[in-house]
Amino acid sequence: MQLKIARIGKAIGVMALLAGVFLLLSCERNPLKVDLSGIGEEVSFVRYDRELFSLGGAPGIGDLQGLHDRYPAFTDLYTHLVLRVGDVTDSSGWQLIREFLADTTTQAVREMAEKRFSELRSVEKELVTAFKHFRYHFPERPLPVVYFCQSGFNESVFTADSLVGISLDKYLGPGCFYYDMLDLPRYKQRKMIPAMIPSDVMYTWGMTEFPLGKEATTLLDHMVHEGKLLYFMEAMLPREADTLRTGFSKRQLEWCRSNETAMWNYLVEHQMLFSTRQMDIVRYINDGPTTNGFPQESPARTGAWLGRQIVRAYMKKNPQVTLAELMANTAYRQILNGSAYAPQ
């Protein structure tokens, strides 16, 4: 009997050990590493820029009507909200689009964009994979059609129902002298490169699909919301460099890692987390050369970076929560409490 009990005890011990290993592996499993082999649907792409400029510098109103007929939703968004020329199928909008196409600067920028983006296979490949991740995590949501265009430096990425617009003239690289003529600051020019397109697209798509909750009033609310968007980008672009997902340089990322505890303690000690003052939210969430009040080595958007640390901690502590559930959750303080976030 004792031998039998010993064997049972040994078996129970082995089973407990295996269960513990399984639990450990489950906890350590990366929930963002998913199998996309069953995802067949892909996003489609339109070189709208080429179709528009192929009409020449003086297209007839019928030519523009034909373009509008092929891509009605995008053409309306592009002409009304991006170029701001109005309806290209009436005489005033038609004349304004002709002026835009015939403009010497527009034509010069067009040549630069065509040279830089003679083909977009690498960008398209990354976006196909990113939106396959989106389809995996959000199977009920439609995939967009992606349009490449030239916006006259008005927009980088813009979205509407089931479409994404990418302005190639906003990704010509920091050597583009037009950016200096527009007096764009260096911190912006540094990120106006082709490699940023996938991250900018997925961040903007995330903002469209998962807007800030109406109940968001505090700095903490905005931090967690931005943290969710950065975590969403990790899920959509798991192989992307974090410098591209955050827009931070390597030095800035290292500064954040080295000063995480100090930043968090500062916000807590100065009672910033529950501040509803717009100036506090802007200071830690908006883009800029640095975070005002922090050392010059700090990047802007340190609040967003800390928000991602909170979300990472929350998802690690609550492995049963899916990405879809996280993105739908606008109880921002609840996410903080459920994360047990306490950097040391």
Q: Is the pLDDT of residue 2 over 50?
A: no
- What are the beta bridge partners of residue 45? 146
15: pLDDT strictly greater than 60: no
Kindly indicate the confidence band of residue 29, based on its pLDDT and cuts at 50, 70 and 90: low
In this prediction, residue 88 has a pLDDT band, given cuts at 50, 70 and 90, of confident
DSSP β-bridge partners for residue 164 = 146, 159
What pLDDT digit, counting tens, does each position of 151-200 carry? 999 999 999 989 999 999 999 998 899 999 999 999 999 999 999 999 99
Find the helix or strand (DSSP H, E) in which 303 lies: helix 302-317
In tens, the pLDDT along 275-294 reads: 999 999 999 999 999 999 99
Q: Specify burial of residue 277 (Cβ count, 10 A radius: 0-12, 13-18, 19+).
A: exposed
Work out the average pLDDT over 217-221: 98
* H or E element at residue 204: helix 197-209
Output the six-digit token pair for 107: 């034509």
Report residue 213 as tokens.
């909750």
* pTM of the entire predicted model: 0.90
Write out pLDDT tens, residues 32-58: 889 999 998 889 999 999 999 999 888
**Residue 82 DSSP symbol:** I
Q: What is the pLDDT of residue 18?
A: 52
pLDDT in tens, 225-283: 999 999 999 999 999 999 999 999 999 999 999 999 999 999 999 999 999 999 999 99
H or E stretch covering 160: strand 157-160
Q: Do residues 157 and 166 make contact, with C-beta atoms less than 8 angstroms apart?
A: yes
| pLDDT tens-digit series, residues 131-146 | 999 999 999 999 999 9
